[in-house]
Amino acid sequence: MKFGDYECFSVETGKFAIDGGAMFGVVPKILWERKMPADEKNLIPLRARSLLIQGKGKNILIDTGIGDKLSEKLKQIYQVDIDSANINMSLSKLGLTCSDITDVIITHLHFDHTEGSTSIMDGKAVPTFQNARYYIQKKQWEIANNPSARDRASYMEENFMPLEKAGVLNLIDGPQEIFEGIDIIVTNGHTPGQQHPLVKDKTRSLFFCADLIPTSAHLPVPWHMAYDNFPMILIDEKQKLLARALKENWILFFEHDPYLAAASIKQGEKNIEINSPVSI
Ligand SMILES: [Zn+2]
């Protein structure tokens, strides 16, 4: 699907599952399970969905999702499935390989967004996209290198330190137009220095929600994850960005939604709601 000068494609990197309580924070299960049913272990099926932005001689990948370095124990905890879909399979459907990626924008360094950034070669982790520059917000980089006890487990060095070692890391500071026609919007509520690409188009731009709105069920402002580090900041950011999205006719891209990759939105009676799915 085309946005401005770029063709955009959803790129699945794998499936995983997370505890429903953690996904919906203070929202009672009796409410969230109507929208997103959990299994007998209370797990909700999720996707790790990246976005390929192709145009102006570039193949830009947003987030790298699940890779192949997780331990068996973690794979089991998160019910990781990279057999039915993974980054190599998804890129090959688009006629690409990892070496065709020119730029990788990482929204933040929690493992389900960046595990695929590196792969094991001859026993050590190296950049998976060997011809790409990787873009990360400076603030997020500092946090990943000095994490708090709260989300330390989500920051695994092998997913980002090899990028610095290989000299492919570009630390960027704050919101900016990163490439012609692609803006970076920064939020700080889920984790400081989370960045969201906005592919600009005159009539409807494409916004990469990342963990600000991980699934379509998280559109109501108070429906947010227990993983969010600064909930009050997140609520304020979500309110403002959703108002802007509505006004500017944005299509929202949901990285973790099990069923819906992208959608247009409308003002509902109480909350902003899905208007119609957009296939991408
Ligand atoms: Zn996250």
Per-residue pLDDT, 107:
98
Per-residue pLDDT, 232:
98
In the beta sheet, which residues pair with residue 61?
52, 104
pLDDT band per the 50, 70, 90 thresholds, residue 181: very high
Residue 276: burial class (beta carbons within 10 Å; 0-12, 13-18, 19+): exposed
Per-residue pLDDT, 106:
98
d(CA 109, CA 106): 7
110 Cα: distance to centroid of ligand 1 (angstroms): 5
Token pair in block for residue 171: 């630390």
CA 68 to centroid of chain Cα atoms: 17
What pLDDT digit, counting tens, does each position of 198-219 carry?
999 999 999 999 999 999 999 9
199 Cα: distance to centroid of ligand 1 (angstroms): 21
CB 28 within 8 A of CB 20: no
Q: If you average pLDDT over residues 93-115, what whole number do you get? A: 98
Q: If you average pLDDT over residues 254-258, what whole number do you get? A: 98
52 Cα: distance to centroid of ligand 1 (angstroms): 19
Per-residue pLDDT, 117:
98
202 Cα: distance to centroid of ligand 1 (angstroms): 30
Per-residue pLDDT, 125:
97
Percent of the chain, pLDDT > 70?
100
Residues surrounding ion ligand 1 at CB below 5 Å: 110, 211
190 Cα: distance to centroid of ligand 1 (angstroms): 7
Q: Determine the 3-state secondary structure of 220 from DSSP.
A: coil
pLDDT band per the 50, 70, 90 thresholds, residue 157: very high
Per-residue pLDDT, 95:
98
Per-residue pLDDT, 179:
98
Q: ∠ CA 45-51-54 to the nearest 5 degrees?
A: 160
Structural domains of the chain, ranges and CATH numbers in brackets: 2-277 (3.60.15.10)
pLDDT band per the 50, 70, 90 thresholds, residue 101: very high
